[in-house]
């Protein structure tokens, strides 16, 4: 590690080294933030308070994370279970907005960051910290989402992001960790994927994923069963929604977190939710991500199907534009932007009708909608049916409709093809 002076500040919210006295570190327990926990104490001569946020990432042992933080010298360690808030305040709006970025990414990381940063602000204030530290790099989206949130909600707090400037690669970090008695999982030879996960999905970056001509290697899939290894028997499930909110699985009402977890387990077993995605990052880079998002890959299409059934053709034409804008704002780190809440008002108004049940078949990597029912469906079997003639729908009136409907197009055709 070099002992060069700190890099010059380029933004008002960046901390001057002499302003840093007590730091709230967003701590995952991984290598970067563990090295950082020690490095901040050393470089800034500051106390460090850690905050670890549970957003439903599977297989995390929070007692172990807390023990590690204390061992590395944290003066206070906080673990927050934010699963309910994440589901209710972040995932539900995303479901109502059919939120996908770039046509495929269900935004789980992008949805989690504003909540994590909001909690960092709350704990920094409560614990008397002047600065918040995080482990994001200078190339990604997450630094934007976290720092934009902090600068918006807490103009009095400063930020440091050591990974952007400390010029340590993985090998140097492992060496620093060994030197300072910080436990390291694996070895420097086995560089891991860069993982981020929560209730709504899991992303992997790095290693072969950066080679666009490499097909996915199976060791990346730690959540979803590769489709060809999924059961030969399909599963049928039913998801019920009330006003856009998922409320029941197979007729059993469940709390949101439990419902998402159970749907995710079913999808994972059947190979559903693998997304191999090239993405335009906010900072201008294109990047490839491998996503595993089994719950989102079932709940989003079910919601969309129900919405299509209860909305008019005009709403169905218009809402995707609103949804896309919503997803872009969230991806781009502008969760607190007023336009997002403006769009939510429209999205909620539409979702007031989105009540009913969608049946899906899960089979070797696909979730296919098979049944639909809703008290608000704009569907009348007797009007739509081939088997019935007459009634309110006068087929004999159709030619008059067609004549007027095609009027302008016919006129233009005649004029331009004379
Ligand atoms: N590309 C996604 C996003 O920007 C996921 C990033 C997750 N970070 C990671 N280290 N894998 O939201």
Nearest CA to ligand 1 atom 8: 196
418 a catalytic residue: no
Choice among 130, 194, 324, 373 that is catalytic: 194
What whole-number distance in Å separates Cα of residue 294 and Cα of residue 269?
A: 9
Q: Of the candidates 275, 280, 278, which has an alpha carbon nearest to the alpha carbon of residue 290?
A: 275
Strands (E), 146-285: 158-160, 194-198, 201-205, 235-242, 245-249, 252-253, 274-280
- Token pair for 359: 């049946």
Per-residue model confidence (pLDDT) at position 2 = 44
Atom of ligand 1 nearest to the CA of 107: 12
Q: Decide: residue 59, CB within 10 A, 0-12 exposed, 13-18 middle, 19+ buried.
A: exposed
342 a catalytic residue: no
- The answer to whether the predicted template modeling score (pTM) of the entire model surpasses 0.85 is yes
**357 secondary structure, DSSP code:** E
Rounded to the nearest angstrom, the distance between the alpha carbon of 16 and the centre of ligand 1 is 28
Rounded to the nearest angstrom, the distance between the alpha carbon of 141 and the centre of ligand 1 is 7
What's phi and psi for 396, nearest 5 deg? Answer: -70, -15
Nearest CA to ligand 1 atom 7: 196
Crossing angle of the two packed helices 108-126 and 142-153, in degrees rounded to 10: 40
Per-residue model confidence (pLDDT) at position 384 = 86
List of domains in the chain: 17-190 (3.40.50.620), 196-311+353-373 (3.90.1260.10)
In sequence order, the β-bridge partners of residue 196 are: 203
Rounded to the nearest angstrom, the distance between the alpha carbon of 304 and the centre of ligand 1 is 24
348 a catalytic residue: no
Ligand 1 contacts (CB < 6 A) are: 109-110, 141, 194-196, 203, 205, 279, 289
Strands (E), 142-298: 158-160, 194-198, 201-205, 235-242, 245-249, 252-253, 274-280, 286-292
382 a catalytic residue: no
What whole-number distance in Å separates Cα of residue 48 and Cα of residue 75?
A: 6
Rounded to the nearest angstrom, the distance between the alpha carbon of 91 and the centre of ligand 1 is 17
Three-class SS of 361-415: EEECCEEEEEEEECCCCCCCHHHHCCCCCCCCCCHHHHHHHHHHHCHHHHHHHHH
What whole-number distance in Å separates Cα of residue 252 and Cα of residue 389?
A: 40
pLDDT per residue, tens digit, the chain (418 aa), is 444 578 889 999 999 999 999 999 999 999 999 999 999 999 999 999 999 999 999 999 999 999 999 999 999 999 999 999 999 999 999 999 999 999 999 999 999 999 999 999 999 999 999 999 999 999 999 999 999 999 999 999 999 999 999 999 999 999 999 999 999 986 555 678 999 999 999 999 999 999 999 999 999 999 999 999 999 999 999 999 999 999 999 999 999 999 999 999 999 999 999 999 999 999 999 999 999 999 999 999 999 999 999 999 999 999 999 999 999 999 999 999 999 999 999 999 999 999 999 999 999 999 999 999 999 999 998 888 887 776 778 899 999 999 999 999 999 999 999 8
Choice among 34, 47, 83, 113 that is catalytic: 113
Rounded to the nearest angstrom, the distance between the alpha carbon of 167 and the centre of ligand 1 is 21
- Region label for 224, one of left (φ > 0), alpha (ψ between -120 and 50) or beta (otherwise): beta
Contact 319, 350 (CB under 8 A): yes
Beta pairing, strands 245-249 & 235-242: antiparallel
What's phi and psi for 390, nearest 5 deg? Answer: 75, -145
Q: For a ligand 1 pocket test, name from 55, 94, 109 the mutation site with the most ligand atoms within 8 angstroms of its C-beta.
A: 109
């Amino acid at each position: 590690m070099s002992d060069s002076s700190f890099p010059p500040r380029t933004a008002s919210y960046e901390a001057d080294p002499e302003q840093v006295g007590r730091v709230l570190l967003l701590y995952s327990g991984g290598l970067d933030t563990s090295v950082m926990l020690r490095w901040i104490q050393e470089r800034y001569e500051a106390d460090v308070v850690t905050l670890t946020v549970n957003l439903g990432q599977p297989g995390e042992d929070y007692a172990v994370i807390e023990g590690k933080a204390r061992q590395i010298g944290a003066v206070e360690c906080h673990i927050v279970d934010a699963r309910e808030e994440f589901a209710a305040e972040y995932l539900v709006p995303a479901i109502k907005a059919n939120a996908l970025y770039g046509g495929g990414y269900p935004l789980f990381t992008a949805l989690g960051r504003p909540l994590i940063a909001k909690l960092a602000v709350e704990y920094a204030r409560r614990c008397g910290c002047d600065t918040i530290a995080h482990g994001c790099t200078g190339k990604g989206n997450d630094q934007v989402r976290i720092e934009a949130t902090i600068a918006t909600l807490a103009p009095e707090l400063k930020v440091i992001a050591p990974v952007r400037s400390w010029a340590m690669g993985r090998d140097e970090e492992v060496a620093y960790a060994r030197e300072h008695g910080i436990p390291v999982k694996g070895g420097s030879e086995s560089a891991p994927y860069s993982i981020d996960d929560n209730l709504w999905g899991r992303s992997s970056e790095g290693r072969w994923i950066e080679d666009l001509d490499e097909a996915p290697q199976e060791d990346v899939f730690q959540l979803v069963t590769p489709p060809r290894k999924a059961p030969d028997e399909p599963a049928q499930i039913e998801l019920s929604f009330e006003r856009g909110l998922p409320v029941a699985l197979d007729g059993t009402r469940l709390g949101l977190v439990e419902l998402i977890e159970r749907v995710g387990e079913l999808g994972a077993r059947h190979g559903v939710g693998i997304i191999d995605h090239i993405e335009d990052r906010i900072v201008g880079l294109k990047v490839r991500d491998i996503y595993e998002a089994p719950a989102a890959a079932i709940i989003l299409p079910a919601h969309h199907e129900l919405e299509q059934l209860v909305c008019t053709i005009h709403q169905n034409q218009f809402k995707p534009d609103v949804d896309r804008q919503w997803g872009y704002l969230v991806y781009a780190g502008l969760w607190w932007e007023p336009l997002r809440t403006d769009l939510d008002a429209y999205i909620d108004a539409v979702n007031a009708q989105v009540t009913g049940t969608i049946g899906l078949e899960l089979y070797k990597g696909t979730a296919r909608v098979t049944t639909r029912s809703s008290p608000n469906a704009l569907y009348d079997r007797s009007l739509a049916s081939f088997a019935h003639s007459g009634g309110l729908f006068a087929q004999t009136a159709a030619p008059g409709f067609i004549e007027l409907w095609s009027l302008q197009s016919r006129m233009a055709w005649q004029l331009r093809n004379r």
